A and B are shown apart, each in its own frame.
Chain A
């Protein structure tokens, strides 16, 4: 550190850019040591869990989609699964396939948005996608085209890309005909090339060294890369602890949210430890179930082979470098495009667009893999099918502890390298936060982290 740097320093970044929702960051540094890195999420509470009470069992999918405009399908899917679980209904066959198709659309558009518009500018030294388009117009055009392909899937199946209207309990209001899906195929075939090119493009970025020392939590599904269903599965950070799974109904016993006023804020902890969910976790937990094409792309991108931790043995490579999450996202986009093409090729229009989901008293759990990570919903209904309790655990709430620890370590490393200026630290921190693609709008359950008012 230069001599002009004060011994004690507080850095406040009043608003982090290029993230979904609103966050500020508060760093406390003393004598060259980072005492505290605190994400201050000032997205105001919107009380979803409260006003869901008293609503009919059919309502949470539309209502909770409004928690987040960037992954509304994830909310609709997790809500549907939880309610259907409570009502004892399993949606399968072509209806399940259509749901996966819809979700693939959201993965494609949402991950592409993050890669091209929010994350890539960091690697190329630009402030935004507009700046990026001046020097890398081809890549931006490709990103927009790819995103549009994802949106086209969601729009066709859901009616519109943000807060789709066609989703309902048990399936859809209307199932498309085969002929209606056909125009998507051509688009998706172009998207497959675009997705490949995107993987190659991001593989050429420079990735600083970093490691996130958190447990990785993702859903695991038999025989397929988990998207719209699965069992919570943990790959612990400690090399001596074996991977393990737990039943979804025990989710909140394992992932506990804690509200603290003065310390480093709300941390939702997984069995008492820091954890991370999202693309790095999915890659570690079920990367080996990606398609051969996606695996080849991953290898070419330098991600190596995913770990094969069925049983106790590990092998393969777990990627814990948050900067490289953009690589996994790009591979996942490629996979989602392929999956969408596969589902469309195998599609037969179901006899009915939805399965009946009659209300009954009980509690149900649902979790799916939102682009940003595991999204858990739980609902309890009375005999009339009214919600008496709702609990929603979004991915960003789970990742927050890991992000803060990541920030602390990165800033420390930056200071040790002599990067002590406010501008340098700000850039470092903003990048670190965007690595995790946090989605702050999920204020269903977000907390005001810092009660010492900054403004």
Chain B
């Protein structure tokens, strides 16, 4: 990186950033890398990034970051075209990896939702579901979080540049808490916390601020809901409360875990 700049710089790998149904928070994380941004721009050609540049260049791209979920008929077409143009495709955030908070509609009556929000629902075009990118095209790597963590994003980009696999551990928030030296909020204060079943990445933010984890990174690699749910109920949550906790920012991913570990409990009721 620090070698003298050759007179004719070699072609840099081309980066594309694309957005589907989302809040823009995950792609904004790239602009929040203030210390790294200019360095990243030196290593990668930012070919397509609408939030940041008005000169989008066509593919193919070496690395594509996709934010957001598939929620309209047009999205289904567009993600296929993008995949065909992408050498490596990485999804960033809960929307892109699990359908996001808007996947709450998957468990509800979308016509009812439309009528709730819009006076003239017939003008709106939407799918009845919000699905992750991997439901439509092959994905090379999924980065979790709502939003993703800046450090993990830089690791993914660095790993891509170095041609290796990103070092993103699959363990739970509890591990990060231990590493950070936090006192366990459940053990010490009886605060219900999804940390034991939630994917690490945030550095155990909520417990550090005295709050129970609410699962914004989605399920960890291994989980034990049958052990955790009674503990949360012991700490004052009703079954319905626990359900709503699990069914928020990563509703489809946690529902899949429940179906495996707590068969018979997810009938789509009480999911908000």
Chain A contacts to B: CB under 8 angstroms: 15, 17-22, 42-56, 59, 62-63, 66-70, 72, 113, 117-118, 121, 127-131, 133, 140, 144-145, 147-148, 151, 159-163, 165-166, 168, 172-174, 259, 261, 353, 430, 441, 444-445, 447-448, 451, 455
Instruction: Flag if A44 contacts B71 (CB, 8 Å).
Output: yes
Complex CA–CA separation, A15 to B51 (angstroms): 10
Interface of A is mostly: loop
Complex CA–CA separation, A121 to B112 (angstroms): 43
Complex CA–CA separation, A128 to B216 (angstroms): 31
Instruction: Flag if A173 contacts B210 (CB, 8 Å).
Output: yes
Chain A proximity of B91: nearest CB distance (Å): 16
Which of the residues B114, B118, B119, B272 comes within 8 Å of A55, measured between beta carbons?
A: B272
Complex CA–CA separation, A63 to B75 (angstroms): 24
Please name the residue on chain A nearest to B110 by beta carbon.
A47
Complex CA–CA separation, A111 to B45 (angstroms): 26
Which of the residues A15, A17, A46 comes within 8 Å of B21, measured between beta carbons?
A: A46
Q: Knowing A44-B75, A56-B244, A121-B54 touch, does A144 contact B24 (C-beta < 8 A)?
A: no
Contacts of B108 in A (CB 8 A): 50-51
Which of the residues B24, B38, B119 comes within 8 Å of A21, measured between beta carbons?
A: B24
Beta-carbon contacts under 8 Å, B197-214 to A: 202, 205-206, 208-211, 214
Instruction: Flag if A448 contacts B24 (CB, 8 Å).
Output: no
- The contact size tier of chain B is 35 or more
Instruction: Flag if A128 contacts B55 (CB, 8 Å).
Output: yes
Q: Which of B26-34, B154-162, B163-171, B226-234 contacts A (4 or more CB under 8 A)?
A: B26-34
Q: Which of B98-106, B132-140, B252-260 contacts A (4 or more CB under 8 A)?
A: B98-106
Contacts of B56 in A (CB 8 A): 15, 17
Complex CA–CA separation, A21 to B68 (angstroms): 11
Instruction: Flag if A127 contacts B34 (CB, 8 Å).
Output: no
Q: Which 8 A-B pairs have the closest CB atoms?
A: A69-B25, A128-B53, A17-B54, A50-B113, A127-B55, A50-B116, A144-B34, A51-B104
A-B contact pairs, 20 of them (CB 8 A): A17-B56, A18-B50, A44-B20, A46-B71, A46-B130, A47-B114, A51-B105, A62-B248, A63-B101, A66-B100, A68-B24, A117-B52, A118-B52, A148-B35, A160-B147, A163-B146, A166-B211, A173-B210, A173-B211, A353-B210
Instruction: Flag if A67 contacts B209 (CB, 8 Å).
Output: no
Instruction: Flag if B272 contacts A51 (CB, 8 Å).
Output: yes
Contacts of B54 in A (CB 8 A): 17-18, 121, 127-128, 430
Q: Which of B1-9, B58-66, B82-90, B120-128 contacts A (4 or more CB under 8 A)?
A: B120-128
Chain B proximity of A181: nearest CB distance (Å): 15
Complex CA–CA separation, A59 to B101 (angstroms): 13
